[in-house]
Structure 1
Amino acid sequence: MKYGKEKEVDTAICKETVEETFLKKVGFCGDGVADLRHHGGLDRAVCVYPYEHYLLWEQEFKISLPPAAFGENLTVTNMLERDVCIGDIYRLGEAVIQVTQGRIPCSTITKRTGIPKLLKRMVETGYTGFLCRVLGEGTVKKDSNIVLVEPHPKKVSIFSANQIYFQKSGDDDGLKNVLEVKELAGEWRDQLTKRLGK
């Protein structure tokens, strides 16, 4: 991808819409991950971003965003960070996915959109989107529905987990609350565990 004054970066952020694909444990067939250190893996196989935020960012920054501007695999409606919880299980077409963590926005989003303040605003608002692991592989179509099949009993929303991760890292009670969700992504678990008692 080119950005700025003819600079280039290797990235898989520029997604294209497809009519149908197969979702495997490691992600969608035909999709790629350029930075394996910070993206991808079993706990982060699927990236989801709420469509409702597009209008907010377009109004705030007076810009028109391209489809999948945030590098998400799925752009969804009615799945805001306040309503989606870590450990929730969804049926996606023939596949089954489970929410594992909030998405950590990276600088590639800035390079793609050309909006330097967007990352800061995503973190401030908690509108980061979220990541999922694949519990059951299967075919996913463009018009496939996403249906909540098993809400997690702890009800730790992505929004509240984002607040602990990004803004309240010294809140031991909050950290413990998030860590009690055993389905939490391993990397987040390691990082939040290290913060406890600091």
Structure 2
Amino acid sequence: MTGYAARVLGVNLGRVARLEGRRKSVPSAIFKAPAPGAVWLRREGFAGDEQADRKNHGGPEKAALVYPTEHYVRWRRMLGREIGLAAFGENLSTRGVTEEDVHLGDVCRLGGAVVQVSQPRRPCYKPAWRHGVRNIALLTQQSGMTGFYLRVLEEGEVRAGDALLLLDRPPGTVSVEEANRVMHRDRDDAEGIENLLSCRWVPTSWRRDLRRRLAGMEEDAARRGSKGPSEPGPCQPGTAASE
């Protein structure tokens, strides 16, 4: 097992507000901002943080979203503008670890809390509204720059400057990068699908989709990016294509 110790650059919180489009608006808490001090991480998420859609966001299996700031360089190039902490609605902006390093099931110390990596992020349409790029969910998935969710094993305080420190990696895990590869890019990799299904840490919703795929009932990956109101325009030519 290779250990890691990422640094938390920001603990980001947000309240539900209206995300305005040209013709309509939707409720969202995707606009988050770094907290000035320590924040209590509960089983359901950070105290003071909100989610507009509790069916698909937050809860014990998605208590906190981690996003590596290493990806910001590529996103700035793809979007053609500066972005700062919490640009993708993440609770924890980190440096020092990416999806390649992190495995589903990893148990980590996070400040005063103990957490476990639960699943990669599969973004909905709201990042597209925030950044004005209609296909940003698809770009996120295909690039592998998804970030990942945590479940909370022991509650505790977390602040900027704390470490996300790997404590234990159970046997039979797969990396977040590998899970993303099979789910979003190499969708016909039967061996990869079977390998994911053999990992006990792969979430139930993913298992359902993977089994449907093995049975020949394909899921359109682009649907996740197009669900909800279709407000934003396409990505600027020449930005995403080269990625």
Please say whether Structure 1 and Structure 2 have the same fold, judged by a TM-score greater than 0.5: yes
Deviation per residue, 1:131-162 (Å, 9 max, x gap): 11111111111221110111233341111101
Q: Which amino acid aligns with 2:90?
A: E
Rounded Cα–Cα distance in structure 1 between residues aligned with 2:85 and 2:20: 17
In 1, are the aligned partners of 2:21 and 2:129 still within 8 Å (CA)? yes
For the residue of structure 1 that corresponds to 2:151, the secondary structure is strand
Q: CA separation in 2, counterparts of 1:25 and 1:78?
A: 25
- Residue 13 of structure 1: which of 11, 30, 33 is its match? 30
Structure 1 distance, partners of 2:138, 2:201, is: 27
Q: Is contact 1:92-1:140 (8 Å) kept?
A: yes
Q: How does 1:143-158 map to 2 (within 5 A)?
A: 143-158=161-176
Give the distance between the partners of 1:147 and 1:36, measured in 2 at CA: 28
- Once residues 169 and 120 of structure 1 are traced to their aligned partners in structure 2, the CA distance between those partners, rounded to angstroms, is 14
Whole-Å separation in 1 of the counterparts to 2:87 and 2:190? 34
Match of 1:134 in 2: 152
Change (3 A) 1:35 1:51: same
SS at match of 1:76: strand
Distance across 2 between alignment mates of 1:185 and 1:95: 22
Please list, as runs of the form range in 1=range in 2, the aligned pairs for 1:69-108 lying within 5 A after superposition: 69-108=87-126
Distance 1:197 1:116, change over 3 A: closer
Code of the aligned partner of 1:32: E
User: Does residue 23 in structure 1 map to residue 54 in structure 2?
Assistant: no
Say which is worse superposed, 12-21 or 167-176, in terms of deviation.
Answer: 167-176
Larger Rg: 2
C-alpha offsets along residues 119-138 of structure 1, whole Å, 9 cap, x if unaligned? 23212211111111111111
User: If the length of structure 2 is used for normalisation, what is the TM-score?
Assistant: 0.75
Q: Which moved more, 1:178-187 or 1:25-34?
A: 178-187
How many residues in Structure 1 have an aligned counterpart in Structure 2?
198
The structural deviation recorded for 1:106 is 1.5
Structure 2 equivalent of residue 122 of structure 1: 140
Bigger Cα displacement from structure 2, 116-125 vs 9-18:
116-125
Amino acid at match of 2:68: P
TM-score, length-scaled by structure 1 = 0.91
The answer to whether 1:195 aligns with 2:210 is no
Contact kept? 2:182, 2:193, Cα under 8 Å: yes
Give the secondary structure class of the aligned counterpart of 1:60. helix
Q: Distance in 2 between matches of 1:105 and 1:2?
A: 16
Identity %, equivalent residues = 37
Aligned counterparts of 2:85 and 2:154: Cα–Cα separation in 1: 27
Unaligned runs of 5+ in 2: 1-17, 217-243
One of 35, 38, 54 as aligned partner of 2:53: 35
In 2, Cα distance between the equivalents of 1:112 and 1:11? 10
After superposition, the CA RMSD in angstroms is 1.7
Counterpart residue number, 2:188: 170
Distance in 1, Cα, partners of 2:77 & 2:168: 35
Aligned position for 1:58:
76
CA offset at residue 2 of structure 1?
A: 3.5
